[in-house]
Amino acid sequence: MEPSEIRPGIRRLFHLDTDRPDRVQADADAEIRLHLALRTEQLVRAGFTPDVARDEAIRRFGAIEESRQLLHQSSAKREQKRRIRERVDGIARDLRVALRALRRSPGFVLTAVSCIALGVGSNAAAFSVFEELLLRPLPVHRPGELVNLSAPGPRIGSDQCNMSGPCDEVFSYAMFRDLQQRPTGLAGIAAHRTFFASIGTPSGTRHAAEAEGLFVSGSYFPVLGVRPALGRLFAAADDETLGGHPVAVLSHSWWTTHLGADSTIVGRQLRVNGRLLTVLGVVPAGFEGTTLGRRPAIYVPLTMEAAVDPNFGPASEMLNRRRYWLYLFGRLAPGVTLARAQAELTAAYQPILAERDAPLQVGMSAATMKRFLAREVGVTDGRHGQSVLRDTTRDPLVLLFATTGLVVLIACANIANLLLVRGAGRGTEIAVRLSLGASRRHLVAQLLTESCVLAILGGLASLVVAWATLRLIGSFIPPASLGFGAALSLAIRPTVALFAGAVALGTGLLFGLFPALHATRPDLIARLRSGAGHITGGHRAAARFRSSLVTAQFALSMALLASAGLFIRSLQMVGDVDLGMQTEHVLTFTLLPELSGYDPGRSRALFARVEEEVRSVPGVASVSGSALPLLTGSSWGGNVSVEGFERGPDTDVNTRLNKVSPGFFHTLGIALREGREFSASDRADAPRVAIVSEAFARKFNLGPTPVGKRMSIDGYSPKGTLDIEIVGVAQDASYSDVKSVVPPLVYTPWRQDTTVTTMAYYVRTTAAPEAVLSAIPAAVARLDRSLSVSMLKTFPQQIRESVYLDRMVGVLSAVFAALATLLAAVSLYGVLSYTVALRTREIGVRMALGADGRRVRGIVLTQVARMVGVGALIGLVAALLLGRAAQSLLFGVQGNDPIVIGLTVALLAVVAMGAGYLPAWRASRLEPIQALRRD
């Protein structure tokens, strides 16, 4: 029979080759040949001679060559169609068979799917955060062209930096305007600065909403290439005259949530921090400013800074060249490289420094002045915007992502192991199919289809795990507020779902391949023929492969457990830091009355009255305030002159500052080493006083009698006088964050200062602080209903939130390590149960020869010890390397901490023996006779 006469179904069933192209062409030729022959025959019958008949047949046929071509074409097309149809049929059939096979073993499916879901889900969640914080560029026009500017180097003046970047990235307003006017290799430069905004209706009748605001230069939106969703955005003309542009642009989300997406808002007014601003437009949805973790609700022209931000100070400060407070970015002009932009910017920057800034840098030594004049502009990739969050979270996120990657690997090993066992159990079925003529390729495809189905199910389930993990991650990140925290949208975006799908499928294919190849190995038939009855999976290669999988799993678990141990230990150290104060039974809140239209004088009057009002709340023992909220990442600094301390041009005379109420040290339990606490009599009209910290006393050599010495603070004290008397020395206490070394510190009474606009209150309670917490807003409202209370929480909670990254890394790495170890233990259990079943006969013989249960258990547990021991050893090396790499994330603990390593090894040993004991015990309970009878 010719192959082409076989029906397609039969052809497929027997896996016969489909027609080759040359055969298809020959068929077409044969068809024409037959036609010509029959026609000739007909003509001969009609009386023509054979030769004439043949010529006539060809003539009547017409365009033979053209017809041949057409027939060839149609045959080829037919073949192709058939091949596609067969392939689709094949896949559908494989799928049906796979589903049928899987339905028969729900336990296996459940185990495999949960392994994939747990591994891939945690990995996808980590990827989601990773992508949100580190990968995704700003949603603007060609983000790759954006560059961030910085100007590191020495300078005199005040820095004001925030979440948008480190302190050497801020410029003065005057410098920004100067740079804008010179050629810089940039298509445009933009400046921005966040502020705290209270947004209300023009009449001010309704309670204003607190929100994040952003001052932006007129070039901000044009440089980004952002188009309005409504109305228009700022242009250069909206940002020319200081204080002269009472306009605003709203964020899309604020416009939607607070104004119900009212499109008539354009042209209407809003009251922002007491100023009436006309709304020009709304930015597009998805644009949330250029600082990750901050979501401005409102954009205001930069020239309005002094008029709208109560914390800024007088309008003249705008032109202060020694006040550095603006973050700058730009867009590269077409064809300009980063290096060329840097060179051109520096060429523009240095002459401005020399002509305009250098004369103002008084008191600088010649050497420092030389370095000041040589400062260069730093230009870095700006596609992700400007944010310190990216820098602080990069290492922890990379670590978590890598950790979950390892969890995926461990889960993969589990899948491979499960599939191997399953393949072994189906040896007879597969051998029969092979001997009946099924091709190995086809059977492998069939088995891979099964693992793909598992992968798809696992991938779907992993989205649930990813969602839950994201919720867990999100619960660690405090909401954006004054000092820290971040507004992030942690969600399963399409990229994340795609990622999860790809990882899950990769898992299924990659780790299904060896088991599939192994299950269909050719020697199966021989074994079937040899009459072994049933075929076991006790193939040497597979056994070795599977115990190496377990070894690898334990190695990875060891590494993960050790690093988790380090982070937990580190977290413990963070919790154990001696803050130098008693934080239990203390609650805190912050007031910013200027947002409700208070002037500085009224604010200060209010601050004192709030202290009295809160003191009268039942359960309150004492109340005190500090102008700088403690342990929120905020910091104030200044240079001081101290009696008896030599101060040269380049001497470091910097200290941190804070302004506090009477009773501050008592309320927070900060011990006074010498002198006295501030009292109510330290008023504005009394002599100026200060309490310094022990670190300050050491730095400025105050000697044995610090109390009574005099000092002055640059910018606050009249020039050339030492107008402040030191009246006490306080114990060193933490200032801006828990983990940094406690700096030298000067406390002054805020009542002697006219610039205080913010007050953080600390309330010591006699009962549990949670009970008093709810009474605070009411107490404040008794004084003024329009005031809103910010950051109301217990002090310990605020401190916990300030170390949220440590907590997140510690808890998550522990969760992932536990997950990894659990998976490894499951795997070990599976492998042991299987080998014990295989060795039943051997064990039976041993027992018949006199081995007792203990001996048999020993045999099995030795196998465990070998697998786990080698794994732990490899894992130990990995753990030490990992510990060294993660050193920068650790606090107060070394990457090779022997206690942590020791505990990890012990834990791993317990888990391994636990997983191994049951199979070992089962082996020791075998009845020798039964064991020998089997098979």
Euclidean distance between CA atoms 368 and 651, whole angstroms? 11
Q: How far is the CB of 15 from other proteins (least distance, A)?
A: 21
Residue from 13, 15, 50, 73 binding other proteins (CB under 8 A): 73
Euclidean distance between CA atoms 779 and 785, whole angstroms? 10
Q: How far is the CB of 76 from other proteins (least distance, A)?
A: 11
Candidates 224, 223, 238, 389; CA nearest to 301 is 238
Euclidean distance between CA atoms 75 and 23, whole angstroms? 10
Residue 556: burial class (beta carbons within 10 Å; 0-12, 13-18, 19+): buried
Complex with other proteins: residue 58 or 768, whichever CB lies closer:
58
Half-sphere exposure of 191 (CA within 13 A, CB side): 23
Complex with other proteins: residue 2 or 685, whichever CB lies closer:
2
DSSP 8-state code for residue 17: P
The stretch near other proteins (CB under 8 A) out of 74-82, 617-625, 713-721, 776-784 is 74-82
Euclidean distance between CA atoms 692 and 733, whole angstroms? 11
Give the sign of the dihedral formed by CA 216, CA 218, CA 223, CA 224: positive
Q: How far is the CB of 86 from other proteins (least distance, A)?
A: 16
Q: How far is the CB of 69 from other proteins (least distance, A)?
A: 10
Complex with other proteins: residue 64 or 768, whichever CB lies closer:
64
Q: How far is the CB of 132 from other proteins (least distance, A)?
A: 52
Q: Which two tokens stand for residue 477?
A: 């990140």
Residue from 49, 74, 278, 679 binding other proteins (CB under 8 A): 74
Complex with other proteins: residue 68 or 182, whichever CB lies closer:
68
Q: How far is CA 517 from the centre of its chain?
A: 39
Complex with other proteins: residue 71 or 445, whichever CB lies closer:
71
Euclidean distance between CA atoms 679 and 749, whole angstroms? 9
Q: How far is the CB of 52 from other proteins (least distance, A)?
A: 16
Complex with other proteins: residue 59 or 719, whichever CB lies closer:
59
Euclidean distance between CA atoms 51 and 43, whole angstroms? 10
DSSP 8-state code for residue 718: P
Euclidean distance between CA atoms 850 and 928, whole angstroms? 10
SS (H, E, C) 649-698: CCCCCEEEEEEECCCHHHHHCCCEEEECCCCCCCCCCCCCEEEEEHHHHH
Candidates 651, 626, 911; CA nearest to 762 is 626
Per CB under 8 A, contacts with other proteins among 768-807 are: none
Complex with other proteins: residue 31 or 612, whichever CB lies closer:
31
Buried b (16+ CB within 10 A) or exposed e, 475-509: ebbbebbbbbbbebebebeeebbebbbebbbebbe
Query: How many CB atoms within 10 Å of residue 698?
Result: 11
Q: Which two tokens stand for residue 324?
A: 């550095």
Q: How far is the CB of 59 from other proteins (least distance, A)?
A: 10
Complex with other proteins: residue 71 or 672, whichever CB lies closer:
71
Complex with other proteins: residue 37 or 502, whichever CB lies closer:
37
Q: How far is the CB of 9 from other proteins (least distance, A)?
A: 13
Complex with other proteins: residue 62 or 260, whichever CB lies closer:
62
Q: How far is the CB of 4 from other proteins (least distance, A)?
A: 6
Residue from 5, 51, 646, 652 binding other proteins (CB under 8 A): 5
Per CB under 8 A, contacts with other proteins among 507-526 are: none
Per CB under 8 A, contacts with other proteins among 31-70 are: 31-32, 34-35, 37-39, 42, 60-64, 66-67, 70
Residue 128: burial class (beta carbons within 10 Å; 0-12, 13-18, 19+): buried
Q: How far is the CB of 81 from other proteins (least distance, A)?
A: 10
The stretch near other proteins (CB under 8 A) out of 28-36, 362-370, 380-388, 560-568 is 28-36
Complex with other proteins: residue 35 or 182, whichever CB lies closer:
35
Q: How far is the CB of 87 from other proteins (least distance, A)?
A: 19
Using rule CB under 8 A, residue 4 touches other proteins: yes
Q: How far is the CB of 47 from other proteins (least distance, A)?
A: 13
Euclidean distance between CA atoms 651 and 630, whole angstroms? 28
> Are the beta carbons of 773 and 587 closer than 8 angstroms?
yes
Euclidean distance between CA atoms 120 and 880, whole angstroms? 26
Complex with other proteins: residue 61 or 267, whichever CB lies closer:
61
Q: How far is the CB of 63 from other proteins (least distance, A)?
A: 5
The stretch near other proteins (CB under 8 A) out of 30-38, 393-401, 589-597, 762-770 is 30-38
Complex with other proteins: residue 73 or 380, whichever CB lies closer:
73
Q: How far is CA 370 from the centre of its chain?
A: 42
> Are the beta carbons of 286 and 252 closer than 8 angstroms?
yes
| Binding pattern for the stretch 451-470 against other proteins, x by CB under 8 A and - elsewhere | --------------------
Complex with other proteins: residue 14 or 61, whichever CB lies closer:
61
Euclidean distance between CA atoms 535 and 426, whole angstroms? 8
| Binding pattern for the stretch 406-435 against other proteins, x by CB under 8 A and - elsewhere | ------------------------------
Q: How far is the CB of 71 from other proteins (least distance, A)?
A: 6
Residue from 23, 25, 54, 71 binding other proteins (CB under 8 A): 71
Euclidean distance between CA atoms 573 and 889, whole angstroms? 12
Complex with other proteins: residue 37 or 468, whichever CB lies closer:
37
Residue with tokens 């149960």: 833
Euclidean distance between CA atoms 705 and 697, whole angstroms? 10
Using rule CB under 8 A, residue 23 touches other proteins: no
Residue from 10, 16, 30, 432 binding other proteins (CB under 8 A): 30
The stretch near other proteins (CB under 8 A) out of 27-35, 183-191, 408-416, 642-650 is 27-35
Query: Partners of 67 in the beta sheet?
Result: none
Residue 316: burial class (beta carbons within 10 Å; 0-12, 13-18, 19+): exposed
Residue from 27, 159, 317, 753 binding other proteins (CB under 8 A): 27
Work out the angle at residue 927's Cα, subtended by the Cα atoms of residues 921 and 933, and round it to the nearest 5 degrees: 130
Residue 66: burial class (beta carbons within 10 Å; 0-12, 13-18, 19+): exposed
Total number of residues that touch other proteins (CB under 8 A): 26
Q: Which amino acid, one-letter code, is at 365? A: S
**What is the DSSP track for 315-363?**
GGGGG-TTEE-EEEEEEEPTT--HHHHHHHHHHHHHHHIIIIIGGG-TT
Q: How far is the CB of 14 from other proteins (least distance, A)?
A: 18
Complex with other proteins: residue 51 or 66, whichever CB lies closer:
66
Q: How far is the CB of 26 from other proteins (least distance, A)?
A: 11
Q: How far is the CB of 7 from other proteins (least distance, A)?
A: 9
Q: How far is the CB of 40 from other proteins (least distance, A)?
A: 11
Euclidean distance between CA atoms 834 and 544, whole angstroms? 13
Complex with other proteins: residue 53 or 486, whichever CB lies closer:
53
Q: Which amino acid, one-letter code, is at 461? A: A
Complex with other proteins: residue 62 or 531, whichever CB lies closer:
62
The stretch near other proteins (CB under 8 A) out of 23-31, 364-372, 493-501, 718-726 is 23-31
- Which residues, other chains included, contact 166 with Cβ-Cβ below 8 Å and sequence gap of 6+? 150, 388, 391
Euclidean distance between CA atoms 72 and 75, whole angstroms? 5
Using rule CB under 8 A, residue 77 touches other proteins: yes
| Binding pattern for the stretch 807-836 against other proteins, x by CB under 8 A and - elsewhere | ------------------------------
> Using CB under 8 A as the criterion, which residues of the chain lie in contact with other proteins when the complex forms?
2, 4-5, 27, 30-32, 34-35, 37-39, 42, 60-64, 66-67, 70-71, 73-74, 77-78
